[in-house]
């Protein structure tokens, strides 16, 4: 172990190329992951924040909030299902809003609700809203009255909430009546009758069993668990699978870089390893040295890449949905270390095959 560490310390230049390449790859992994997280969190906050076990859609909506419509009659049926503890209506309208003093429209998701999501207070008074902090970037302040949609429906901001955005639009949490008013004034093509909502959020016991029981009781609904509802949002699954494919492809490149670099290094050290084996070094010890070097290079690359990603995040414009979470850093670190171990493992066969007898009779 000491041999491997000493070589890293005394000959850093030998590992510079691998460190630089892995630094760029770790930066790429963090940026890709940060974008994925930013897109995911920005799209799904309003649903993740729901303190609900299941979400009920109309069965013709194909799990879409915007297509779903549920009546009070369905609500009564849901409330009578065993295990249901609370039912609340929920509806969204995606619109542009004029912010006082700003020339650009702010993208908002007007969310009508009854049961307060996590971090959101009870519904405000009519015509008022709790705004997601993301809207600060659009110039929104507490006390502002936004003119929402083409009809300019006024909504006054009472306070801030966090991580509750919907499909990359800043959420404005309002009463169901205010939501219907906004929807009907600005989207007459998608009129919502009084007492109609898009979905019900349901608190209760049972998860999948509860969902099935609700659908059986109503005969006209499609019920998903909250997590399933998150991934049913438009584009979320596609974003996840696309970004994850790129991230795991990048990890495959990391593995290939480590494998190639340390294979070449091992090839170059064949003579030295032969001598060390001849004087009593075990294959295990020599291979452990290779792994330690690969992991150390990966960790150094991760640290530099992490700092660069952090700085890049601070410098990038706010409209790029990059969000570097501690979990993303941990995932990238673990993935790099695992790739380094697996990549260096390719050298095991080469180290094993080095014959200690090659040290004798060789002038090389």
Partner 1 sequence: MSSNPAPSGAPLRLEAVRKVYRSGDSEIVAVDHATLTVADGEIVALLGPSGSGKTTLLSIAGGLLTSTEGRVVVGGQDITDRSPRELTEFRRTTVGFVFQSVNLVPFLTAEENLLVVAELSGRSGMSRRDARQRAKELLDELGLGHRAGNLPSQLSGGERQRVAIGRALFNRPALVLFDEPTSALDTKIGEQVMELIQNEMRSRGTAAVIVTHDTRMTHYADRTVRIVDGVLSDDPVAAGHP
Residues within the interface to partner 1 (CB under 8 A): 2-3, 6-7, 10-11, 271-272, 275-282, 285, 356-357, 359-364
Please state, in angstroms and rounded to a whole number, the distance separating the CA atoms of residues 131 and 163.
10
Q: Any bridge partners for residue 92, and if so which?
A: 111
User: What are 314's two structure tokens?
Assistant: 């601070």
Nearest distance, CB of residue 169 and partner 1, angstroms: 58
Nearer to partner 1, 118 or 282 (CB): 282
Contacts of 341 (CB under 8 A, 6+ apart): 291, 294, 295
Nearer to partner 1, 80 or 362 (CB): 362
Please state, in angstroms and rounded to a whole number, the distance separating the CA atoms of residues 322 and 308.
14
CB atoms within 10 A of CB 325: 13
Nearest distance, CB of residue 16 and partner 1, angstroms: 15
Nearer to partner 1, 174 or 286 (CB): 286
Nearer to partner 1, 324 or 359 (CB): 359
Contacts of 9 (CB under 8 A, 6+ apart): none
Nearest distance, CB of residue 8 and partner 1, angstroms: 10
CB atoms within 10 A of CB 27: 20
Bridge-based pairing of strands 199-204 and 128-132 is unpaired
Please state, in angstroms and rounded to a whole number, the distance separating the CA atoms of residues 168 and 134.
10
Nearer to partner 1, 122 or 355 (CB): 355
User: What are 22's two structure tokens?
Assistant: 């892995």
Nearest distance, CB of residue 304 and partner 1, angstroms: 23
Nearest distance, CB of residue 281 and partner 1, angstroms: 5
Q: In which residue are the tokens 């993935």 written?
A: 335
Nearest distance, CB of residue 2 and partner 1, angstroms: 6
Nearer to partner 1, 335 or 359 (CB): 359
Nearest distance, CB of residue 337 and partner 1, angstroms: 25
Please state, in angstroms and rounded to a whole number, the distance separating the CA atoms of residues 156 and 166.
19
Is 261 in contact with 18 (CB distance < 8 Å)? Answer: yes
Nearest distance, CB of residue 277 and partner 1, angstroms: 7
Nearer to partner 1, 1 or 216 (CB): 1
Nearer to partner 1, 237 or 282 (CB): 282
Helix ranges (DSSP H) in the chain: 2-10, 16-48, 72-79, 176-186, 208-218, 226-232, 236-268, 270-278, 283-315, 326-353
Is 92 in contact with 46 (CB distance < 8 Å)? Answer: yes
Nearest distance, CB of residue 51 and partner 1, angstroms: 56
Please state, in angstroms and rounded to a whole number, the distance separating the CA atoms of residues 277 and 356.
5
Please state, in angstroms and rounded to a whole number, the distance separating the CA atoms of residues 344 and 261.
9
């Amino acid at each position: 172990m000491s041999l491997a560490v000493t070589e890293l310390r005394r000959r850093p230049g030998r590992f510079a190329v691998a460190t630089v390449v892995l630094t760029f790859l770790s930066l790429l992994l963090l940026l890709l992951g940060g974008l994925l997280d930013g897109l995911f969190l920005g799209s799904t906050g309003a649903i993740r924040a729901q303190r609900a076990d299941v979400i009920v859609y109309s069965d013709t909506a194909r799990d879409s909030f915007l297509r779903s419509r549920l009546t009070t009659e369905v609500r009564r049926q849901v409330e009578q299902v065993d295990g249901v503890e609370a039912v609340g209506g929920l509806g969204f309208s995606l619109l542009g809003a004029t912010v006082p003093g700003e020339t650009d429209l702010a993208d908002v998701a007007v969310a009508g609700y009854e049961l307060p999501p996590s971090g959101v207070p009870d519904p405000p008074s009519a015509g008022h809203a709790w705004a997601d902090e993301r809207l600060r970037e659009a110039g929104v302040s507490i006390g502002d009255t936004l003119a929402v949609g083409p009809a300019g429906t006024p909504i006054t901001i009472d306070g801030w909430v966090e991580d509750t955005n919907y499909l990359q639009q800043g959420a404005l949490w309002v009463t169901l009546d205010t939501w219907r008013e906004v929807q009907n004034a600005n989207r007459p093509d998608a009129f919502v009758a009084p007492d109609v909502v898009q979905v019900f959020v349901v608190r209760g016991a049972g998860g999948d069993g509860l969902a099935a029981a609700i659908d059986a009781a109503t005969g006209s609904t499609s019920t998903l668990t909250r997590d399933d509802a998150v991934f049913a949002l438009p584009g979320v699954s596609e974003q996840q699978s696309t970004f994850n494919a790129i991230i795991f492809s990048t990890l495959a490149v990391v593995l290939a870089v480590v494998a190639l670099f340390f294979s070449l290094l091992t090839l170059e050290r064949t003579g030295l390893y032969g001598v060390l084996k001849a004087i009593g070094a075990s294959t295990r010890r020599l291979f452990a040295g290779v792994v330690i070097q690969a992991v150390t290079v990966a960790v150094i690359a991760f640290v530099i890449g992490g700092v660069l990603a952090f700085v890049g995040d601070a410098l990038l414009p706010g409209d790029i949905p990059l969000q570097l979470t501690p979990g993303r850093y941990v995932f990238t670190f673990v993935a790099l270390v695992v790739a380094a171990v697996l990549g260096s493992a390719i050298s095991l066969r080469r180290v094993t095959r080095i014959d200690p007898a090659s040290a004798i009779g060789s002038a090389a």
